[in-house]
Amino acid sequence: MQKDLPPPYSEATAPNVGFNLPPNPAQPPPPPGYVGQMPTSHVYAGQPVMSAPAAFGPNSATLTCPYCHKGVTTVVRAESSSKTHLFAVLLCFVSCCCIPYCMDSCKNKNHYCPSCNAFLGAYTN
């Protein structure tokens, strides 16, 4: 299977640097007299919408998911943390050590997107 090769460049149309690509409609044209490379812009996806440490509380929050870009109400799951394990060790000497694992107040409240199941943030008390 041999593919057709592109036509050869003539001296008049051969690019000096890089490839001769069609203009990008999202990028403005260079100013008159500009010679060289245009600076490129970078887009960083996945940045959290709510970046403050205390932005999430113990209850569900309504926000736009930074991963799937949908307006959602977060799903909150209580998950054990190092603080939960520390309380269990301390209570092991006094009484039953399983109490912190049964209480949601000793656990972190992790917020997840119900649409894409991405971790959005946590509330620690």
Residue scoring higher pLDDT (2 or 38)? 2
For the chain, the domain total comes to: 1
In a domain, 116, yes or no: yes
Amino acid at 80: S
Query: If you average pLDDT over residues 55-69, what whole number do you get?
Result: 88
Q: Is the pLDDT of residue 75 over 50?
A: yes
Domain assignment of residue 103, yes or no: yes
CA distance 26 to 93: 66
Asked whether the whole model's pTM tops 0.75, one would answer no
Residue 81 lies in a domain: yes
Q: DSSP states of 33-93 as a string?
A: T--SPPPPP-------S--STTS--SS--EEE-TTT--EEE-EEEEE--HHHHHHHHHHHH
Say whether 32 sits in a helix, a strand or coil.
coil
Query: Is 94 a member of any domain?
Result: yes
CA distance 91 to 70: 43
pLDDT of 3 strictly over 60: yes
- Residue 53's pLDDT band, with cuts at 50, 70 and 90, is very low
Domain membership of residue 76 as a residue range: 62-123
